[in-house]
Chain A
Amino acid sequence: MNVFASALGAAAIVLASASGALSARTDLVLGVVLEPPHLDPTAGAAAAIDEIVYANIFEGLTRIGPKGEVLPALAESWEVSDDGKTYTFHLRQNATFHDGTSFDAEDVKFSLERAMAEDSTNAQKVLFSAIESVEVVDAATVRVSLKHPQGSFLYNLGWGDAVIVAPESAEGNKEKPIGTGPFKFQNWARGSSVTIVKNPDYWGEPVALERAEFRFIPDAAASVTALLSGDVQALPNMQAGDALPQIEADSRFKVVIGATEGETILAMNNGKEPLNDLKVRQAISHALNRDEIILGASSGHGVPIGSHFSPANEAYVDLTGLYPHDVEKAKQLLAEAGYPDGFSATLKLPPPNYARQGGEIIASQLREIGIELEIIPMEWAQWLEQVFTNKDYDLTIISHTEPNDINIYAREDYYFNYQNPEFNAVIEELELTADPAKRNELYGQAQRIIAEDAVNGFLFQLPKIGVWDAKLEGLWENSPIQANDLTKVRWTE
């Protein structure tokens, strides 16, 4: 009886609120895949943190826009000295932190120095490695001196790891993030969702949404049903590509397929027999059928790549024709390398679908040329330890989602075990070059070198499959960085 009465009461309340909602909605529930470990983007590498707080709660001096461009944020404007080594930033003067403390040059100095410090737990410390010193000129001006010119410096400052925090609240940001952004943190129901609300004291253009909830739905199937049942209104990164036809057929939803910065590769251990042989790597590259891989591992969405570079970038060079799918050629190369009957190797796979399903397809394709792969699926924890840290692997499949990260091929001791002084020289020059045309040319050279060396099997650019309510606008189509920027999101009607 009691249950029944409360059910009636609930129905009445639902009706009342529905009839009252004649003006456009101002609330939004987004489904995201992973729950972040905490909410401080300056103390963790997890993309799940940036996917909630970036541009919404925290802001940096600069920010990255929807097309990957560098935009002003807490720095209104800046000047660069002629030698490219001194940056002078002019700061917003009416910005405040969510706890009421004001934002000024001291906060900038504090944040950058904290990220650079010896005992810093910033996961992208390398972003700040070029900084020599940070100097407060006055409350609204900061001067940053670099050790050497760095072409990507303004871009680096736009990363989530470089956001500005206040000394008063920095320690508590993991649990209760306090930034300068247009949304304030409200609540974190662990295992379930994070809720943010509109910041009425925001310095810039106020946001349209009053309240947004990021709900954690790790399971692909569950996210689809949650969308269909209306529990969530947007899935910025849908995992279940095969369910798309069903959603596309439903006029309530909009499907937007964009690009990410994720180069999905079959990484090879260049330091280990027989993969240290160029001919073997070329043979593998010829054996890969990218169309089949994209169809099976990514439901047919995703642009094939021939090197470690995003096709959306203006410096992109199309190298997909370098190693066309050619089983005979592959077998011949393998024989020339001394493996006429192929060989056995391991393929270690992290959890995402593209890796697990792509792995089965690649194993089947390499079997055609006599290479028997043993598939070893692993959790992230094991993958990070065995493959990434200890380089104990032959082959693996992984999407490198950091933007513009071709320079990882120049890193010493990186898990590819790839060494090429010629390539390193190109990257060094790139570091010191600010001229855009010259930079593009160098990027082109870099792409060509690793493609010719067949360092890895270059598969495809990971798509961003966004699905949301057709009445919703302003969500990002592509993902140049990992973020769910809600500043321009609104309900139409």
Chain B
Amino acid sequence: MSADMFFMPAPERHFILKALQNRSFLIGLVITAAIALMALISLFWTPYDITRLQVAARMQGLSLSHPFGTDHLGRDILSMIMIGARNSIAVALVAVGIGFGIGVPLGALAAARGGWIDDALMRLNDVVFAFPALISAVMITAVFGPGAVNAIIAIGIFNIPVFARVARAGALSLWPREFVLAARAAGKGRVLITLEHILPNIMSLLLVQATIQFALGVLAEAGLSYLGLGAQPPMPSWGRMLFDAQTRIAVAPHLALFPGLAIVITVLGLNLLGDGLRDVLDPRLRHER
């Protein structure tokens, strides 16, 4: 994510310096990087192989060999949390990608064309917005069966109108600006103007929104998994770990503690990152400070 920022066409180049002075951004970046690193490591190594169950060693407390204890099937909870991070990030990231990839072009198109296309797209947006998101996700997973991919689709669909709205609002505010009018006067087409002038200038806005949606995606994935509609075993997910822990909380509270903390810390990190980014990138807010 940080690599992308070098290509950001920000009006001022030294905003990285500014970013590093922003407390929210720094804390958020550190947390997010740590979670991402943990997920990355889990691809190659975890303390234990969680597909080999040691049922006899179930629900052990914290120890040197199992720093976070073991779950109801004798799996190492630290290993589960590490792999679960991968699952959370993957689901939320792809869901954001879907929302971004479909929503932004739609929003930009609506702003560029206006007229009935704008009207139709925005009405479609209203329809999606009017649907209760969680219930729709339950219906989607009922049709396609539970699983990480279907959780991604369910979360992704509801990201589309969010990005479409942000992109449209941002683009609409730019169309009457002088540099756009100049480009039009030079005979450039709407598509070209959108690509060359509009999108680069709303990118910071979209990036902030993407971070927020990422955090919401992690929460939504946890909720769906808690209901049994997210990633399926043997793939661990934080939400289902909490569900499994619920009946055992009085006997083995650590089962509920660590997955819950993992969710809170991840979402907190992403939100701080988003806030920090907004402060650094949003010129309007910057003027006020």
Contacts and interface: CB of A to CB of B under 8 A. Distances in A.
Given A376-B145, A377-B232, A243 B55 contact: no
Contacts of A379: 142
B233 interface: yes
Nearest to B245: A221
Interface stretch (B170-178, B200-208, B246-254, B267-275): B246-254
A221 B247 contact: yes
A240 B74 CA distance: 17
Contacts of A240: 247-248
A219 B246 CA distance: 10
Contacts of B146: 377
Contacts of B252: 242
Given A357-B73, A364-B53, A378-B145, A243 B233 contact: no
Instruction: State the majority secondary structure of interface residues on A.
Output: helix
A296 interface: yes
Given A377-B146, A382-B145, A360 B251 contact: no
B248 A242 contact: yes
A224 interface: yes
A296 B72 contact: yes
B232 A243 contact: no
B140 to A, nearest CB: 14
A375 interface: yes
Contact of B251 (A242, A296, A367, A376): A242
B51 A377 contact: no
Name which of B58, B145, B247, B248 has the most chain A CB atoms within 10 A of its CB: B247
A367 B49 CA distance: 13
A385 to B, nearest CB: 12
Nearest to A245: B251
Nearest to B248: A242
B59 interface: yes
Contacts of B142: 379
A356 B146 CA distance: 13
A107 interface: no
How many interface residues does chain A have, given as a range?
20 to 34
B228 interface: yes
A181 interface: no
Given A221-B249, A377-B228, A295 B56 contact: yes
A367 B53 CA distance: 11
B53 A243 contact: no
Interface in B269-286: none
Contacts of B251: 242-243, 245-246
B234 interface: yes
A360 B53 contact: yes
A243 B145 contact: no
A220 interface: yes
Interface of B: 51-53, 55-56, 58-59, 72-74, 142, 145-146, 228, 232-234, 246-252
Given A242-B252, A295-B58, A377-B233, 14 more contacts: A242-B59, A243-B247, A245-B251, A246-B250, A292-B55, A295-B56, A296-B53, A296-B55, A296-B58, A360-B234, A363-B233, A375-B233, A376-B232, A378-B145
22 contacts: A220-B246, A221-B247, A224-B250, A240-B248, A242-B59, A242-B247, A243-B248, A246-B250, A246-B251, A292-B55, A292-B56, A295-B55, A361-B53, A361-B55, A363-B233, A363-B234, A364-B51, A364-B52, A367-B51, A375-B232, A377-B146, A377-B233
